[in-house]
Structure 1
C-alpha cells in the first residue's frame, strides 16, 4: 500500500530593522502589531500577508492564477478572472477559497469553499519588542504643487523592531499529489517560500526578506509535527538554536524524518552534527536546496 508523507517546517528569517505589518495609525503614530508571550511583547506578521506575497511570487513565475491585486482602487481590492476553480488555477488549489454568494455557486454547480492545501501561522519575532521608534518629517507640498495631502508638514512616529521572525507551515502530501498539477505547483510554492519577500504593510517602501536563514522540517506520515513549531531561540552569544533537536533518537523524533537547512546546519557544533547525522538527520547548507528536495519527497508515494 502506497503512502504519502506530510511536511511540517519552521522557517527562521534573518534579523533586520522592520516596521512590517502595522496596525492602525493614530495621530501620525504607526503602531506595530504585537502579541504577548511570557509577559513580553513580540511583533508579529500575519499568515495572510505572507500568503499574499506568495501569490505575487507565483504569479511572477507564470503559474495560472485566478486572483490579482488591484492597485488603483481607493481601498484594498482584488479581481478574479473566473469563479474559483482548483483544477485550473494554482492559487485556488494551494490557498483555497470561500465565496459567500452560495446561491450563485449552486447555480453554476460549483463548490463555494475549499480548504487551503498549505497551512501557515503567524510569524513571531524572535526578540521581544523594546519600544524602539523613529521620527520622520513629512514635508508640506508648497509652491506650485498641483495637490496637497495636508495643510502643514507633519512629524511621523513609527514603531520599529530589529528582529528575526519564525513561522510554521504544513503541507499534506496526499492533497499535493492528488491533482494533475499538484506536484508541479507544490514545488513552485516551496521554491517561493525559499525566496519570500514583499511581505506586510511596509513592503512598498522598505526591504525586509522573509526568506529562510534556517529551516527545521519533518517529512513524516504522522498527522502532527510532533515538535515545537516555534522552537527557534536566540542565544546570548548571538547564535540561533533549535533545542527540540535534542529529542532526536529512536524513542522520540525519528532522525530520518528530520531535515535541517541553512545557517543552523552550517554553524552547528561538529560533534552535535555528527551525532544527528548518525541518527539519519538530513543536513543542507542551502535552505532553498533543502526545500526543493523536500517537495520531491512530499509528492512521491512511499510503498
Structure 2
C-alpha cells in the first residue's frame, strides 16, 4: 500500500523541482525527504526517480505515479468532504486566508452571516499574501484562500487546486487632486509610490508602466493602501490602487479609472469544494455577490 504522505512529497517534488525546496516547504531535512521518497519507491516496487548528483528527474514510472497521485489526493479530499456532509454539516474549523483589504471589507459580512447560520463553524481568518496561499492550502494550513491576478500579470490556479470567481475590479491611477496627470502614459514623469519588491502589486505596476515604455521612478515604498493614498494626497507621487481599496479616498486624491482589471478568486484543494464548511462560504458569496454590496473603506495592502 502506498503511503499518502509520501505521495504528497512526490507531488511537491514535481511542483518545486528539488528535494531541498521540498524540505524547506515541509520543514523537513533534505535527508528526511530523500528517505521518504526512497521508501515510496520500495512500496511501488520500481524506480520513480533518477538521481544525477543533486539533480532529480522522474522516470516513466514516476510520471505515471505522479498523475495517479494527483487523482488520489483529490479523491481523498472528496471523500473527506462527503463524510463531513453526512456527519455534521457545516461545523468545525474553516481556516480562511486573505489579503488585508479583503479581510477588512469582504470577509466581515461573511463571518457574521456564517456565524449566525452555522454556529458550529469555527471561523478563523489569517492575513496572507496571495502569493503564499497555494502553498498554505497544499500544506493544509488553510482550507480556503483568496488569490488575485491582473490583466498584465495573469495567474492560473494549479491543477491540485480549485477555485471560483469572487470579484472583478477596476484598477485606478491615484494622483494628487491638483495634478495635471490624467493617464498612465502621462505618469511617466511622476514620482511613484510602489509596493515592496517581490509583491504582486509591485510587479503589476512595473508591467503596466513598461507597456507605456517607461520604468516608474520610485520615491516611496508602501504596502498599506491607506498609507499609499495619504502619500498621494500629500503630493508625494502617484500609484495604482484597486477598486476595493479606493472606496473612500482622501479629498486630496483624484482617481483615474484605467483599462486594467484585478480578479479575485476563492481557492481550495481540488476535491474539497463540496465540504460543507467550504460550501457554506461559497454559498454566501453566491447569494450576496460582492458587486451588489460594494467595497468598504480603503484599508490595507494586498501585496
TM-score (norm 2): 0.22
TM-score w.r.t. length of structure 1: 0.22
- Higher relative CO (Cα under 8 Å, sequence separation at least 6) belongs to 1
More helix by proportion, 1 or 2?
2
